[in-house]
Amino acid sequence: MKGSVVGAAGTAGMALALGNSQAKTNTTQTLDFGKEDLFDHSHEFAGTVGDIDIASDFDPMVFLEQFDFGTKSQLDNGQTVRDYNIVAVDRDIEIAPGVKFPAWTYNGQVPGPTIRATEGDLLRINFSNAGTHPHTIHFHGVHSPKMDGVFEVIKPGGQFMYEFEAKPWGLHLYHCHAVPLKRHLHKGLYGTFIVDPPAGRPAAREMVMVMNGFSTQFDGANTFYAVNTAAFHYAKQPIPVKVGQLQRVYLTNLTEFDLINSFHLHADMFRLYRTGTRMDHYEITDTVMLCQGERAILEFTLPEPGSYMFHAHQSEFAELGWMGIFEAHE
Ligand SMILES: [Cu+2]
């Protein structure tokens, strides 16, 4: 982590919005603790100024509830087949208002599409590398080591078909496994992989949140954090939630450089299903920390209207973008 911003919130926000060297320069205000603290802490919102361009680019609100079920067909034996097309492509993405990041992407977006299937489906992931570096797709879950996306590195212009059965049911993820791994991950080559139980889960409003970070200095220290890429987006555009309706968050951690990331919900608690592979085992909590590659399903029902904040419980991550609000209404 880097760029701890100390000073008036407005200044911090603008420094972040400017990005690059300005964002890294700490605007430090010296406080004389011997006197009464005259520094104004009543700022309404410590964050970026303005908004990302969702009209011409990635819209985090759409991504939140978007699932790629592939093209469905059936084998003679009745097994469901799902075909997906994933293309690796270099692309500049907007990670905060006016701040572009030269990403390596799956299908032009970071995170890549949320791949979803039911346990037992045969998945065929047709991967093409239209980028400038060698890449792969390494899926978590159970499959043949020949389909693991580690040893067969796909060169630019190359293609590979990953074929395996979706199992076990739970919340998984995928990412590039070309070396150096931390570079390929940090550049944006990752996504969520959901395998539904054959009988499904209880009806709920479902959301995908990928915890990620970006180093605009490319020095191995993140300058921005978020869920689903755009810093502070869900704080500025709160996620509408219906009071009394079951909410289900598929939460993954794909943050590079930092050892852990975390999710904390205010004013309520959630059921925590680690890896989502069991439905009879859960913990009731309001905070979960995850290492890179770990994931968990969170379920909760907001009891009354209002703004419920959620953010990383590493305060610095929250202040550098990983913060949002659920706006509950009747
Ligand atoms: Cu790669």
Q: What is the pLDDT of residues 13-22, one digit of tens each?
A: 333 443 333 3
178 Ramachandran zone, left/alpha/beta (phi>0; psi -120 to 50) = beta
How many Å is the Cα radius of gyration of the chain?
20
13 Cα to the center of ligand 1, angstroms: 32
Looking at domain 60-329, does it have CATH number 3.90.550.10?
no
Is residue 129 over pLDDT 90?
yes
122 CA → ligand 1 middle, Å: 25
> Coil, strand or helix: which one is 51?
coil
Percent of the chain's residues with pLDDT above 90: 81
What's the gap between Cα 75 and its chain centre? 34
pLDDT score for 51: 83
CA of 177 to the centre of ligand 1 (A): 6
The alpha carbon of 48 and the centre of ligand 1 are apart by a number of angstroms equal to 30
- Spell out the domain ranges in the chain: 60-329
- How far, in Å, from the CA of 80 to the mean position of ligand 1? 29
**Rounded alpha-carbon distances, angstroms, from residue 117 to 41, 70, 194, 196:** 48, 8, 6, 6
189 C-alpha to ligand 1 centroid (Å):
6
115 in Cβ contact with 70 (< 8 Å): yes
Q: Residue 326: how many CA atoms within 13 Å on its side-chain side?
A: 27
How far does residue 219's CA lie from ligand 1's centre (Å)? 18
The share of the chain scoring above pLDDT 70, in percent, equals 85
H or E element in which residue 310 lies: strand 306-311
From residue 254, how far is each of 50, 53, 262 by CA, in Å? 26, 23, 11
Q: How far is the CA of 181 from the centre of ligand 1 (A)?
A: 7
What is the model's pLDDT at position 170?
A: 98
CA of 97 to the centre of ligand 1 (A): 26
pLDDT value of position 56: 67
Gap from CA of 329 to ligand 1 centroid (Å) = 42
- Tens of pLDDT, residues 50-87: 888 876 678 999 999 999 999 999 999 999 999 999 99
pLDDT exceeds 80 at position 150: yes
Q: Which of 255, 175, 259 is nearest to 213 (CA)?
A: 255
CA distance 142 to 226: 29
Residue-wise pLDDT for 194-245, tens only, equals 999 999 999 999 999 999 999 998 888 999 999 999 999 999 999 999 999 9
Q: Ligand 1 center to residue 152 CA distance, Å?
A: 12
264 alpha carbon to ligand 1 midpoint, in Å? Answer: 31
Other CB atoms within 10 A of residue 254 CB = 26
Summarize pLDDT for 259-274 with one digit per residue, the tens. 999 999 999 999 999 9
pLDDT at 320: 92
pLDDT band at residue 42 under the 50/70/90 scheme: low
CA of 133 to the centre of ligand 1 (A): 7
CA-to-CA dists, residue 141 to 50, 182, 300, 306, 312, angstroms? 40, 21, 26, 38, 26
Give the model confidence (pLDDT) of 82-122 as tens digits.
999 999 999 999 999 999 999 999 999 999 999 999 999 99
Q: What is the mean pLDDT of residues 271-295?
A: 97
Average pLDDT, the chain: 89
